[in-house]
Amino acid sequence: MAKKRVKVGFVGLGLMGAPMAVNLIKAGFPVRVWNRTADKVEPVAAAGADKAPTATDAVRGADFVVVMVADDAAFDSVLFGDVGLSRGLKRGAVLINCSTTSPAMSFRAATALRSISVRYLEAPVMRSVQAAREGQLQMLVGGSREDFAKAEPVLKAMASDIHHVGDVGKAGSLKLACNVLAATMMQAYAEFFVLARKTGVPFETMMEVLRVGPLDSQLYRYAEQVVVNPGGRPTFYLKHMLKDVNLTLDLARQLDVPLPLTAAVRQMLVAAKNLGRGDEDFATILDLMAGWAGVPVRG
C-alpha cells in the first residue's frame, strides 16, 4: 500500500486514540483528526496530524477512518450526529471501530454504512496506553476477510497482535468475553492483596511470591504498577470498565448465560463510581477493598 496516497481520518483522541493516531503518522499515513474536546488535538497535531473542525471534515476523502471513542452513545454521536462523520465518508472507504462498543451497535453501524457503500470493521483492542504508544496493541477484528486484508497495513501501524475473529459482531463479543477475565481478575487481585496485607507479610515478599509463581499475569503486573506508582495518570478509567461490564452482562442476558462473578464485580464498580472514583484507574478497586479490610495499600 503506498501510504502517501492512502488517507486516514481519525476520530477520538483520548488516552488510547491519541497514541494510536500518532503511530499512524509515524508509519507514514497522512492523518486528519478530530476530537470533541479541542485541546486534546494539539499533541497529535504537533506529531504531524492535520486538524479538522468537525468529524465530518476529518473523514472527507479518507480511504480509512479509525474511531476510538468511549462507548455506544459516543460512537453513535460521532457517526450519526449533526456533524457526524457518516456525512463525510466517501464510497468505498473502510471504517474501523476500535472503541469497545456493543455488538448491537456494530450491526447497526455496519448496516447503515453499507447503505452508503462504506465498509465496516470492528476492531476492539486489548492492553493499555503503553502498548498503544508502542504500537503493540492486541486487536480483535470482526468483518469480511476482504475488508480485513485491505485494512491490515493500517491496523499493523497500531497493533502487533491482530486476530481476524470472524464476521461483524464476533470480535466485539469476544472482547466482552475477555472483559469477564479483566474485571474478575482485578477483583481477585484486590482480595489477594488485602488478605495478604492484613496477615502482615511484607509487601515485597507477597509481590515476589505472586510474580514468580504460577498465578501471575500481565493484569496483576499492571495492578502492581498502580500500587507502587500512586498518583500516576490513570490508563484505564474505572467508568469504562463499568461500561464494559454492563455490555458484557447485557450480552450474557441475551444469550441466557449466567455470569455470577462478573455480576458481583459490577456491584463493586458501581459502588466505586458512586464514590467518585469513575475517573480513576480501574485498579482503584484495590484502594476501596483496602479501606474495607482496614489495611494500608502502601507502607
C-beta neighbour count of 244 within 10 angstroms: 23
Contacts of 217 (CB under 8 A, 6+ apart): 185
Q: In angstroms, give the least distance from the CB of 296 to ligand NAP.
A: 27
Residue 12 to residue 218: CA distance in whole angstroms: 26
Over the Cα atoms of the chain, what is R_g? 20
17 or 88, CB closer to ligand NAP? 17
194 or 247, CB closer to ligand NAP? 247
Chain center to CA of 173 = 14
Contact residues for ligand NAP, defined by CB under 6 A = 12-17, 35-37, 40, 68-71, 73-74, 77-78, 99-100, 125, 128-129, 235-237, 240, 244
Q: In angstroms, give the least distance from the CB of 83 to ligand NAP.
A: 10
CB 162 within 8 A of CB 156: yes
Q: In angstroms, give the least distance from the CB of 145 to ligand NAP.
A: 24
Q: In angstroms, give the least distance from the CB of 31 to ligand NAP.
A: 15
Residue of minimal Cβ distance to ligand NAP: 14
Q: In angstroms, give the least distance from the CB of 268 to ligand NAP.
A: 18
2 or 46, CB closer to ligand NAP? 46
Q: In angstroms, give the least distance from the CB of 126 to ligand NAP.
A: 6
196 or 235, CB closer to ligand NAP? 235
Q: Which residues does residue 32 pair with via DSSP β-bridges, in sequence order?
A: 9, 50
| The amino acid at 14 | G
Q: In angstroms, give the least distance from the CB of 189 to ligand NAP.
A: 16
Q: In angstroms, give the least distance from the CB of 89 to ligand NAP.
A: 17
49 or 196, CB closer to ligand NAP? 49
68 or 196, CB closer to ligand NAP? 68
- Which of 249, 277, 20 is CA-nearest to residue 128? 20
Q: Indicate the burial class of 168 (C-beta count within 10 angstroms; 0-12, 13-18, 19 or more).
A: buried
159 or 196, CB closer to ligand NAP? 159
68 or 168, CB closer to ligand NAP? 68
- Which position has the grid cell 455470577? 260
